Amino acid sequence: MSKIENKNLHKEIVGSGLADLFQMKDSTTNPKLSKFLGKKVRYKKELLADDKFVRSNGSLCKTEIYEVAHVQKDYRGKDVLRGYHTSYEDTFGRCLDPEEVEVIK
């Protein structure tokens, strides 16, 4: 696998090997994913009413806003979004399923 040459990725995420492992990039030809890039998102309200969903994503998912900066492959090889918390310096971010989030207007 070739090294990721994306200067927009935080040096710690590149140094950790996550950028290469999950093939992170800041652009995509997938229209479903591209509409989220550079936008602020949150989990959909209907998902936050499900206790099982909240337990699996942590209670902060109810209030947290993420800025989507990258597209990546998840552990199953599926294209997903990588969002970074906006309330603190978030070096590594989290994987976000485009079906689970909505853009904040």
Name 87's Cβ contacts closer than 8 Å, sequence gap at least 6. 64, 65
The β-bridge partners of 95 are 82
Instruction: Note the pLDDT tens digit of each residue in 86-103.
Output: 988 888 889 999 999 999
Tokens at 42, concatenated:
């949150």
Residue pLDDT tens, the chain, 105 long? 334 445 566 777 777 887 888 888 888 889 999 999 999 999 999 999 999 999 999 998 999 999 998 999 888 888 999 999 898 888 888 999 999 999 998
For residues 82 and 67, give the distance between their C-alpha atoms in angstroms, rounded to a whole number. 8
